[in-house]
Structure 1
Amino acid sequence: MSETKFAPRVFSGIKPSGGLTLGNYLGAIKRWVEMQGESYETIYCVVDLHAITVWQDPKELARATREVAAGMLASGIDPEKSVLFNQSQVAQHAELAWIFNCVARVGWMDRMTQFKEKAGKNAEKSSLGLYAYPSLMAADILLYHATHVPVGEDQKQHVELTRDIATKFNHDFGEEFFPLTEPVIEGPAMRVMNLRDGSKKMSKSGESDMERINMTDDADTIAKKFKKARTDPEPLPETLDGLKDRAEARNLVDIYASLSNQSSEAVIAEYAGAGWGKFKPALADLAVEKLSPIATDMKRLMDDPAEIDRLLGRGAERAREIASPILDRTHEIVGLIRS
């Protein structure tokens, strides 16, 4: 196979289920906004087809899809600089996913840890979509010949599967058609943890609202949650190594670092020896400063759903323009006739 050069292109998406949290913002959207100004073409998606792998109330799904889009727009995703759309408006995602279902191996899917976590003991009652959704995720990425995917550490396995599918397709058909996508994992808060339990990821579906910061929270709620966040009795250490076995403390330091565009080491240097009575209010003030404008703009956007739909529709048109020739060529390579 001859070596193919792929233009640098980023793809990433967020599932519309349960509302956006600070984890979504710091672990994904903030980085996506920064990548708009770099040397990539950026494509960002609300992955509503992934959401329906488990039951969704139709009206709530539509509302949540718009809310995620509003959150992305309010955070700085510019529909002029990036392609922004919801997945189900671009049918090529599902078409390529079927081809990849026929390339991927059952054993590969059996090793996917997220399916095991989500299905639990009732795996046989789970939808086929939940089992096969890593194949759709690979299609999401490779449909645009994306070379880079900004992801959290917990999604790295899916990018590795995407590389496996691309490698097998290229080998099976003797053509280096799909790129071997690289995961982009960087920043101090790529994995934001629960404010009540530092061993668990901040989740939209957690039992208590106090364990997460919602992107729609008002200033008073944000401040209250950070001030009540679980910590330990020890002050902040002089070096980052001193937080090794202090998960809740490390989480708050990482959040502060990401919100202030500093390294975690710089935050420790600034607050070494400080108690939580000093650090938590400082973190709360910083979070309110950075997040309140986003929440305000989200509300403005959600008051005009037709405008959100218009922007998503225009983004879908642009996405189809990129995706169509790639899928058409995929059909030719596989031997599927297009009359």
Structure 2
Amino acid sequence: MSDITPRVFSGVQPTGNLHLGNYLGAIRKFVALQESHDCIYCVVDLHSITVQLVHDDLRGQTRSITAAFLAAGIDPKQHIVFNQSRVPGHAELAWVFNCVARIGWMNRMTQFKEKAGKDRENASLGLLAYPSLMAADILLYRATHVPVGDDQKQHLELTRDIAAKFNNDFSDKIAAAGVGQPIQMGDETVNGYFPITEPLIEGPATRVMSLKDGSKKMSKSDPSDLSRINLTDDADAISRKIRKARTDPDALPSEVDGLTGRPEADNLIGIYAALAERSKAEILAEFGGRQFSEFKPAMAELAVEKLAPVSGEMRRLLAAPDHIDAVLKDGGERAGAIAAATMNDVKDIIGLLRD
């Protein structure tokens, strides 16, 4: 019998510089999860080639994401940090799941429709099969929980569907291989192999918008660097971008309802609240009735206090990447050991010959 360890898995694509939105929406939560869960954090470099095959510096981008993990406080000794392509089991299990998943399931994925656009016939097969690889990322480690944002909920549902279909299709084989576990599937407990992974939602979502347009998400692809705070920005750059952030001419309201119809004000108050780990209502109780000329200096001071140590440590790590490479190598070896055990079980279940 193969035991299932309660475990969190999450991955980040190495596509350009991370920014404040990535930090507040994901990385800071990854750090907090270390206190309560066994965590595996992956730089998903194979996913990065599904939309853009050729990258100028994929290795450098992979190191940059890893540096952000480490600088933010993820402990690579107590937990696992690695890049996806180091562990062949990701691609190997993804192929099995390509045979489990149905084409209709893939065609319904909203993110594929958005990224493929009108020219779907010209999209890569990798982009269509992206959710199958994501399912493999999670289930290769038999992860029980995944922190998800709104844009990944549908993919996690597909992961659950793939696990359920595998468990059902191979139920007799799982039992014969002696690797079954009681798996809760809806109201029923069955003998299965893969867990039905649960979403992990840690508090209210932090949706960070552009500093130049409060109606658009903060994005690393925005042509204006003033639209975002990069995690590699120094204190001067952080302060300058907050000073130049777009606002309206009115004073800050005293209550949250007063932010309606004021996207830039709502965004800045939301960022301040997230950095301070307080509610918007508490921030407005302090700054309500005051002008942005008074609020922005306080926000800049707070942002520098919270982010400058992270950005400074990132720059230090990236200047001498040997430590990053050593972390990824060690993490890859430890992840690979877990993955190899899973793939041995999967091959036994399916009936594939192995050593």
TM-score computed with the length of structure 1 as normaliser: 0.93
Give the residue type in structure 1 aligned to 2:350. V
Write the distance in 1 (CA, Å) between the matches of 2:309 and 2:91: 36
Q: Is the 8 A contact 1:187 1:258 kept in 2?
A: no
Is 1:272 the counterpart of 2:288? The answer is yes
Write the distance in 1 (CA, Å) between the matches of 2:250 and 2:197: 43
Deviation digits for residues 124-163 of structure 1 (CA, Å, limit 9, x no counterpart) = 2221111111110111111111111112222212111111
Mark the structure with the bigger radius of gyration.
Answer: 2
Which residue number corresponds to residue 170 of structure 1?
167
* Cα offset, 1:318, TM superposition: 0.8
Q: Is the 8 A contact 2:215 2:263 kept in 1?
A: yes
Deviation digits for residues 180-206 of structure 1 (CA, Å, limit 9, x no counterpart) = 212223345532222222222211111
TM-score computed with the length of structure 2 as normaliser: 0.89
Write the distance in 1 (CA, Å) between the matches of 2:347 and 2:283: 52
Q: Is the 8 A contact 1:188 1:254 kept in 2?
A: no
Write the distance in 1 (CA, Å) between the matches of 2:198 and 2:231: 29
Which residue number corresponds to residue 308 of structure 2?
292
| Secondary structure, aligned partner of 2:117 | helix
| Secondary structure, aligned partner of 1:12 | strand
Which residue number corresponds to residue 70 of structure 2?
73
Write the distance in 2 (CA, Å) between the matches of 1:248 and 1:154: 22
Which residue number corresponds to residue 209 of structure 1?
225
Alignment counterpart, residue 182 of structure 1, candidates 198, 201, 220: 198
For structure 2, list consecutive stretches of 5 or more residues without a partner in the other structure.
172-190
Distance 1:188 1:330, change over 3 A: same
Write the distance in 2 (CA, Å) between the matches of 1:130 and 1:59: 20
* Cα offset, 1:57, TM superposition: 4.4
- RMSD in angstroms over aligned alpha carbons? 1.9
Is 1:134 the counterpart of 2:150? The answer is no
Which residue number corresponds to residue 115 of structure 1?
112
For structure 1, list consecutive stretches of 5 or more residues without a partner in the other structure.
none
- Would you say how many aligned residue pairs link Structure 1 and Structure 2? 336
| Secondary structure, aligned partner of 2:129 | helix
| Secondary structure, aligned partner of 1:197 | coil
Which residue number corresponds to residue 186 of structure 2?
none
Distance 1:187 1:279, change over 3 A: farther
| Secondary structure, aligned partner of 1:43 | strand
Taking the TM superposition and a 5 Å limit, the aligned residue runs for 1:8-27 are 8-27=6-25
Give the residue type in structure 2 aligned to 1:83. I
Which residue number corresponds to residue 223 of structure 1?
239
Give the residue type in structure 2 aligned to 1:69. T
Give the residue type in structure 1 aligned to 2:209. M
Q: Percent identical across equivalent pairs?
A: 60
Which residue number corresponds to residue 42 of structure 1?
39
Write the distance in 2 (CA, Å) between the matches of 1:183 and 1:269: 34
Distance 1:8 1:267, change over 3 A: farther
Write the distance in 2 (CA, Å) between the matches of 1:229 and 1:171: 53
